[in-house]
């Protein structure tokens, strides 16, 4: 009777991917290495597209014949950055003769600064004013959340979605980097598709974030073959797998994978990752025969 070798390995970890490198000769592959090879390249960072419905106009004044003797520039409406910080960006315009278009370009420097700091929806503009005394006022409109509306039509539990978007709360200044981060965490949940729309809020400068969460496919599967084997295994490998998404309403996934890579290199595995904000907690079991 031929001897049959069984290797059973179980691991629980907060992150299920570890990348290592070595300059030594490659050892014979084991079950964990085969599983890692199979999973590499299958995970893509989810994106969080946000559709923006804007009511703001961005008309550039075009009156080159009108020149303003700029004596002083005042900045109002800012709270995220100090007046001194913003004034430093435009101070070189003081003491010059500038057209209205040039003044608009000066205000754009502040808009650009906000965008570079992640506040893509805030802007600086020239309000109606009397410029006869040479005092130019630039007003900053810092975009903030009016409210966040969640429409959950998926199997995902409501509290999990609410907790994920909780930092995007009413009154908070809209930082596009933070918004993308929270919505990416939402997209990491298995078994869901999201649609995110930013619409004008009830007051000037406010926006309402609408988050729609819908069910994605509950079952996914694959079957294939490749020639990525090595001298320890058959050059050709066959693979197949199936996964069930969001069974517990927690963005979870239960997947089963099988691979054949030559004599005594056939394995089966099950993995159950559970997304927890920026971490992934899960359990995996591999059986190599």
Indicate if 177 and 99 belong to the same structural domain.
Answer: yes
**DSSP labels for the chain?**
------EEEEEEES--------SSPPPPP-HHHHHHHHHTT---PPP--EEE------PPP--TT-EEE--EEEEES--SS-HHHHHHHHGGGTTSEEEHHHHHHHHHHHHHHHHHTT-TT-EEE--S---TTSEEEEEEE--EEEEEEEEEESSS-HHHHHHHHTTS-TT-B--HHHHHHHHHHHHTSTTEEEEEEEEE-SSTTEEEEEEEEEE--SEEEEEEEE----TTS-SSEEEEEEEEE-SSSSS-EEEEEEEE-STT-EEEEEEEEEEETTEEEEEEEEEE-
Indicate if 113 and 77 belong to the same structural domain.
Answer: yes
**Structural domain span for residue 122:** 58-144+155-188
Average predicted confidence (pLDDT) for the chain:
78
Cα Rg of the chain, angstroms: 28
pLDDT, residue 51, reads 67
Indicate if 34 and 72 belong to the same structural domain.
Answer: no
Identify the CATH number of the domain in which residue 114 sits.
3.10.20.310
Sort strands 253-260 and 219-226 into parallel, antiparallel or unpaired: unpaired
Indicate if 38 and 71 belong to the same structural domain.
Answer: no
Evaluate whether residue 274 is within a structural domain: yes
What are the tens digits of pLDDT across the range 12-34? Answer: 232 333 333 333 444 444 444 44
Indicate if 184 and 243 belong to the same structural domain.
Answer: no
pLDDT, residue 237, reads 75
Indicate if 36 and 70 belong to the same structural domain.
Answer: no
223, 240 in Cβ contact below 8 A? yes
CB atoms within 10 A of CB 32: 17
pLDDT, residue 115, reads 95
Indicate if 121 and 80 belong to the same structural domain.
Answer: yes
Q: Which two tokens stand for residue 240?
A: 């197949």
Indicate if 91 and 174 belong to the same structural domain.
Answer: yes
Indicate if 137 and 67 belong to the same structural domain.
Answer: yes
Indicate if 66 and 119 belong to the same structural domain.
Answer: yes
Indicate if 166 and 256 belong to the same structural domain.
Answer: no
pTM, two decimal places: 0.68
Q: Which two tokens stand for residue 273?
A: 């990752």
Where does the pLDDT of residue 268 fall: very low under 50, low under 70, confident under 90, or very high at 90 and above? Answer: confident
Evaluate whether residue 234 is within a structural domain: yes
pLDDT, residue 113, reads 98
Evaluate whether residue 203 is within a structural domain: no
Evaluate whether residue 116 is within a structural domain: yes
CB atoms within 10 A of CB 286: 21
Evaluate whether residue 249 is within a structural domain: yes
Sort strands 279-288 and 219-226 into parallel, antiparallel or unpaired: unpaired
244, 155 in Cβ contact below 8 A? no
Evaluate whether residue 23 is within a structural domain: no
Indicate if 65 and 130 belong to the same structural domain.
Answer: yes
Evaluate whether residue 117 is within a structural domain: yes
Q: How many domains does the chain have?
A: 2
Where does the pLDDT of residue 252 fall: very low under 50, low under 70, confident under 90, or very high at 90 and above? Answer: confident
What are the tens digits of pLDDT across the range 144-194? Answer: 999 999 999 999 999 999 999 999 999 999 999 999 999 999 988 889 999
What are the tens digits of pLDDT across the range 96-108? Answer: 999 999 999 999 9
Closest listed residue to residue 275, CA positions, set 43, 10, 15: 15
Evaluate whether residue 162 is within a structural domain: yes
Closest listed residue to residue 91, CA positions, set 79, 105, 73: 73
């Amino acid at each position: 009777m031929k001897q049959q070798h069984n290797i059973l390995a179980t691991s629980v970890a907060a992150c299920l991917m570890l990348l290592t490198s070595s300059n030594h000769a490659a050892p014979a592959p084991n079950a964990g290495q085969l599983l890692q090879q199979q999973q590499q390249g299958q995970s893509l960072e989810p994106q969080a597209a946000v559709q923006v419905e804007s009511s703001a106009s961005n008309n550039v004044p075009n009156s080159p014949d009108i020149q303003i003797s700029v004596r002083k520039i005042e900045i109002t409406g800012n709270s995220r950055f100090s007046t001194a910080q913003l004034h430093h960006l435009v101070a070189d315009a003081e003491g010059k003769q500038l057209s209205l278009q040039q003044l608009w370009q000066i205000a754009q420097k502040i808009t650009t600064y906000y965008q570079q700091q992640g506040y893509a929806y805030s802007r600086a503009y020239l309000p109606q004013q009397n410029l006869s005394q040479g005092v130019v006022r630039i007003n900053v409109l810092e975009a903030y959340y009016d409210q966040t509306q969640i429409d959950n039509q998926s199997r995902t539990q409501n509290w999990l979605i609410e907790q994920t978007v909780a930092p995007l709360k009413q009154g908070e200044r809209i930082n596009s980097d933070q918004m993308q981060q929270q919505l990416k965490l939402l997209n990491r949940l298995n078994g869901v598709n999201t649609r995110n729309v930013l619409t004008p809020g009830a007051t000037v400068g406010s926006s309402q974030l609408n988050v729609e969460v819908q069910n994605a496919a509950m079952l996914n599967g694959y079957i294939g073959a490749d020639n990525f084997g090595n001298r320890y295994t058959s050059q050709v490998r066959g693979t197949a797998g199936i996964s069930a998404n969001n069974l517990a309403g927690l963005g979870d996934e239960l997947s089963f994978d099988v691979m054949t890579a030559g004599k005594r290199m056939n394995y089966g595995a099950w993995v159950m990752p559970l997304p927890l904000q920026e971490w992934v907690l899960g359990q995996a079991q591999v059986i190599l025969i």
